[in-house]
Chains A and B, each alone.
Chain A
Amino acid sequence: MIGTPIDVLPYIRGVQLILEGYHGYTKDKRIENDALVRGEIVRASVRVRSHMQNIFDSEFKRDNMELARAAKQCMEECDLLAEDVGKAPGGMEHAFFSGQRSPSKKDLKNLIKHDHDVIEMVTKATNIANSAEHSIATEDGNTLQFIKQTTQKVSSCRGFFGARANILKGLKTKKK
């Protein structure tokens, strides 16, 4: 059995701060961990969408179409991220039957590090979205900038999460 690589323990601890049940893809917990990570990303995207929804409602009622349009675009980006994550491949339980090879230490390390980075990125997006909504309340004039930054973060998160599929794809071919 392949154990959890030691050098990714800091990443595991970081993820565990957010996801309590996360164990870094230990045996028999891999699908569970995968579902945890994806669920967290979806939840974060829902949080971002919620902030943008508030901004959209507020600005649309004020007939500020520029901000409303930007917020709507960000909401659509969040929906796309949630859909991408929700329908992403999660790997197989039984490598012997599936045609996958067993994950190596390097694979696990990459996956754990990637999970950490994606969660960190989507958390940042949530924070910026929160700042955008706060900016609406304080009327400091930076709302559009925050909204666009949030959209960019969520967009980047979509792209970055796509790389996870590449890592999992690497497991699909058995080494002889």
Chain B
Amino acid sequence: MANYRWRDSPDVIARLVNADKIQTFRTQEVLLKPNEACAFIVDGRIGDILTETKISSLAGGFSRWVGDQLGMTADDRRLLFAMTGPMDYWVPFEGNLANGEMAKGYANLRMKLNTDNVPKLLNWFANNSPILTRDGVISILKDELHGRVVTPCLASCASGNDLRGADFLERFEMTTEMEMRNLLSNLGFTLLKAFPITNPTDMELVERHRAKIEAQMEGDSINLEAQKAEFANKEALTLQRIEMETNVARAHARGQVTVQLEHELKALRAEEAKWAAELERDRGQVALAQEDREHASNVRIDEADAKSTRAMDMFKQVQDRKAERISNQQNFQNQRMENQNEVQVKMMEMAKDAGALTPEVMAEFLRQQTQQKAVDSDNPAPAPQGSNCGCGTALQPGWKACPNCGSAIV
């Protein structure tokens, strides 16, 4: 027993097989998977529709040949195989939007054949080849889909942007569901899902180009900015390097100058120290000389002061002696006067007693007394005016000696 393969390509959707044409010595069997179905059309009537099973004695074999020869089998036996699982069909379309833009793309229709609906494919096989492929299905659907679904849906879009909206997708699916039902039902298909995939429109291509150019310009601008920033960075770095080198050179020069200046300063300071030492020495010498001079002056002054002091002391002694002498003279005169007065008083008393006290006596007495007083009060001769001592000191009248040098005044 041999396995019969009804499907030799993934694009085959269904196949109508005339079992009478399978003439082999070996009986044929076919295995139907869960997504495959087989409808029997025997003598023009639709028989069983099988799936998930193995069909034995499909065709060929000696017994069937004998049955045919004896007229014990059906006159016409056809087997309609079909794929019942969901399959995608891409139907190309193109149309115009409301604004005149051309929209191209594909409409994806996901459809399945219900097992019970497999015999409906006979509607198609009646006038077509016994093999139905995806392209065959698409060619059946294309015109009707274009006229009933694509054109109205595209016409409802104002621009290319509307093609991308969820509303358009939903409306497209619903329109397909409703408008394509008649055709799909006639073929036994059930529409599961439908959605369009549109290529970019001309305006969208223009927009894309514009966006691309803008992005490129933006990129160029960014690159330019980056390059400018890089150049600025390099410039800043170069300037900073130059400034650093300058600073280093300046610092180096400054260091050299500093060293030189310090050297010179050191020399100057040495010179200054030398000068200061010399100045100090000179000052010392001057101070010493000054000190000597001051000492000498002091000595002279001291000497002069000593002489003056001695002169003043001597003068004071003289004055004291003079005052003492004068006092003594005064005392002596006073005493003499007192004695004289006493004598005169006694004389007067005696004259009184003697009755000799006449006015003449009195007048004589007063005259003598006055003379006496005049004699008593008579002063020595004054010293000559404007004379100077040998030391240069001016001498006053009455001085017996020079108060400065102590020499006696003649």
Contact = CB atoms under 8 A, between A and B. Distances in A.
Nearest to B193: A76
A83 B86 contact: yes
Interface size class of B (residues with CB under 8 A): 10 to 19
A87 B34 contact: yes
Specify the main secondary structure of chain A where it touches its partner.
helix
A57 B114 contact: no
A81 to B, nearest CB: 12
A35 B52 contact: yes
Nearest to A69: B170
B151 to A, nearest CB: 18
B142 interface: no
Given A57-B181, A90-B52, A72 B86 contact: no
B178 A61 contact: yes
B132 interface: no
Nearest to A68: B174
Contact of B192 (A60, A69, A76): A76
B190 interface: yes
B178 A60 contact: yes
A42 B117 CA distance: 13
Interface string A28-67: 0000000100000011001001000100110011000000
Given A72-B174, A86-B34, A53 B181 contact: yes
Contacts of A87: 34-35
A87 B170 CA distance: 28
A84 to B, nearest CB: 12
Contacts of B115: 42, 86
A6 B178 CA distance: 49
A56 B190 contact: no
A79 interface: yes
Contacts of B190: 49, 79
A176 B115 CA distance: 40
A160 B190 CA distance: 24
Contact of B114 (A46, A53, A75, A76): A46
B204 interface: no
Contacts of A42: 114-115
B177 interface: yes
Contacts of B86: 83
A60 B174 contact: yes
Contacts of B52: 35, 90
Interface in B72-108: 84, 86
A55 to B, nearest CB: 12
A68 B173 CA distance: 11
Contacts of B116: 43, 46
A86 B193 CA distance: 18
Contacts of A53: 181
Most interface-central of B112, B115, B178, B193 (chain A CB within 10 A): B178
10 contacts: A42-B115, A46-B116, A60-B178, A72-B173, A72-B177, A76-B193, A79-B192, A82-B114, A83-B112, A90-B52
Interface of A: 35, 42-43, 46, 49, 53, 56-57, 60-61, 68-69, 72, 75-76, 79, 82-83, 86-87, 90
